[in-house]
Copies of this chain bind each other. A is one copy, B any other.
Amino acid sequence: MAANGEEVKLLGVAASTFVCRVQLGLNLKGVEYKFVEQDLENKSEELLKYNPIHKKVPVLVHNERPISESLVILEYIDDTWKVNPFLPAEPYQRAMARFWAKFIDDKVLLASWTSVFSNDEKEREKNIRESDEALKFLEDELKGKFFGGEEIGFVDIAAVYIAFWVPLIQDIGGLQLLTNEKFPKLYNWSQEFLNHPIVKETMPPRDPLFAFFKARYDNLIASE
């Protein structure tokens, strides 16, 4: 129960970059919420009730009204709690923020993930190229300290995967997807982002996640 009598719940799991987006969104706004950890192998009644369509996390439940899809949730958070806006006020800048967040979903996530988590060598190589190409566009797009300028905005939150998960999985796969040599501006952004006090307190601890994904990777490689 938040201070103003509103009930805000987040159904999630610790390893998910999509759930992390919502945690960042709520924490950057200073919204109090209850995190309800889910077991995706054994889906709860609550998850099936609140997200009967996709049966996935994250689900934000605000005063019993559920919302799913991480970018839709972020827009809702920005529309509902007006402090520290994520999206610029100017329509063209808003459109650009939405464009780049969608670009990350469509062009970065699967490509970088499959650069590591595939047991087909050709598939991995193709995805490394696609990840490189996508990150290069973001490198060129980055003009200030953050994508949002001086403050963390919508694209930065959407890009948490690039700051935290990409370095994690590149270490697992022994790759260089995001390095200072390849993408200096984006690498510098990732450091600034992860060192932001609210981001720092929001991110899950690295070691258990590393172990979790490393075990998946080892299983996959063993199945080759």
Are B102 and A76 within 8 A (Cβ)?
no
Contacts of A65 in B (CB 8 A): 92
Within 8 A of B (CB), among A66-123: 67-69, 72-73, 75-76, 79-80, 91-92, 94-96, 98-99, 102-103
How long is the Cα–Cα vector from A95 to B71 in the complex, in angstroms? 10
Q: How large is the interface on A (under 10, 10 to 19, 20 to 34, 35 or more residues)?
A: 20 to 34
Provide the bound-state CA to CA distance between A183 and B26, in Å: 39
- Interface residues, chain A, with chain B CB atoms under 8 Å away: 53, 62, 65, 67-69, 72-73, 75-76, 79-80, 91-92, 94-96, 98-99, 102-103, 137
Q: How many angstroms from the CA of A137 to the CA of B52 in the assembled complex?
A: 10
In the assembled complex, 16 residue pairs joining A and B whose CB atoms fall closer than 8 Å, in A order, are A53-B103, A53-B137, A62-B92, A65-B92, A67-B96, A67-B99, A68-B99, A69-B102, A73-B95, A75-B95, A75-B98, A76-B91, A76-B92, A76-B94, A79-B95, A80-B91
Shortest distance from the beta carbon of A61 to any chain B beta carbon, whole Å: 11
Q: Which residues of B contact A99 (CB under 8 A)?
A: 67-69, 72
Q: How far is the CA of A164 from the CA of B8 in the complex (A)?
A: 40
Contact of B95 with A76 in the complex, beta carbons under 8 Å: yes
Closest CB in chain B relative to A154 CB, distance in Å: 12
Chain B residue numbers with a CB within 8 Å of A79 are 91, 94-95
Q: How far is the CB of A98 from chain B (nearest CB, A)?
A: 5
| Most B C-beta atoms less than 10 A away, residue of A62, A69, A137 | A69
